[in-house]
Amino acid sequence: MKNYKNIILNPSSSIKEALKIIDSGAMKIALVVDENEKLLGTLTDGDIRRGLLNNLSLDDAIEPIIFKTPTTCSIEDTKEKILEIAVEKKLYQIPVVDNTGKLIGIEEVDELLKPKNRNNKVVLMVGGLGTRLRPLTEKIPKPMLKVGDKPILETIILNFKKYGFSNIVLSVSYKSEMIENYFGNGSKLGVHIEYVHEEKRMGTAGALSLIQEKLNEPFFVMNGDLLTNINFEHMMDYHIQNSSVATMGVREYDFQVPYGVVNIDGINIKSIAEKPVHNFYVSGGVYILDRAVLDFIPKNQFFDMPTLFEKVIANNMKSISFPIREYWLDIGRMEEFEKANNEYHKVF
């Protein structure tokens, strides 16, 4: 049984404190107890994401976002019984309590930490011209540029494989033969790769019309110039658990106005904010879609992902956001390419 003392919180602890505990520990969970160490609930990364999306700040208390009905096991339960519970509930860890509800410890089920073999397809958009990275992309497509010791696209594919997603579809166009010659059918990486050829620019969603019949389960769509260490398994589970038809990975973006902003009413000055910082969520270029949304995509036409989400929203279908707090870098310009090479070995 794992020692739980370093992952304990109380209801008045801040979200910032919870993040430090969850991010620093291997178990990626916090346990919330009262003054008598009675278990009140648990807290995970997903709970914090939902709280932040509901406008809580890092300084707010965790009390409103505690998961107050966690699955537990008894101190009398055998290892076999605990494993049975974990498999049934799809849990990584299970708090152990005595018959009064007092926290005794936490069992970590190592077997469940191994990546699963997921059938969901991963569609990677790798047909862009990479004009902002010229002259590097004059003779080689951007996804084949090396970051660290391998092409960007290889790192992306291996990251998906790590989480059990090995059915890859590459939407190719510019210098596609270089990509196909390098990856082939994917067997050398332990994955299965199919190709779809864009004869013209089709946007970040348009190419999906060419492979509709192959997309029967929820599937990923991701830009082929992103480096990120998102837990793709968690994102897929988040999509499914929330009964979403379209999930967008979103990234927090801060913009500081370089001037004093004057708030006026008619000709009257009401207030002045000196160089205010505005916070936004922007698309992270990682999506999960259900087959149902493919009906909105026109055949053989340019169609972008924001337009697809607008269609989903207009038809009152559920679309949700998945906050990306992990490493994320869009390699669109030379400075980002250089940054990726400088950071690659530290991150990956």
Query: So which residues are the catalytic ones?
Result: 275
Is residue 260 within 8 A of residue 273, CB to CB? The reply is: yes
* DSSP states along 219-232: EEEEETTEEE---H
What amino acid is encoded at 164 in this protein?
G
3-class SS of residue 300: coil
Strands (E) across the chain are located at 8-9, 30-33, 39-43, 73-74, 93-97, 103-108, 118-125, 146-147, 150-151, 165-172, 192-197, 219-223, 226-228, 246-256, 260-265, 268-274, 277-289, 319-323, 328-330
Edge-to-edge strand ranges of the sheet holding 8-9: 8-9, 30-33, 39-43
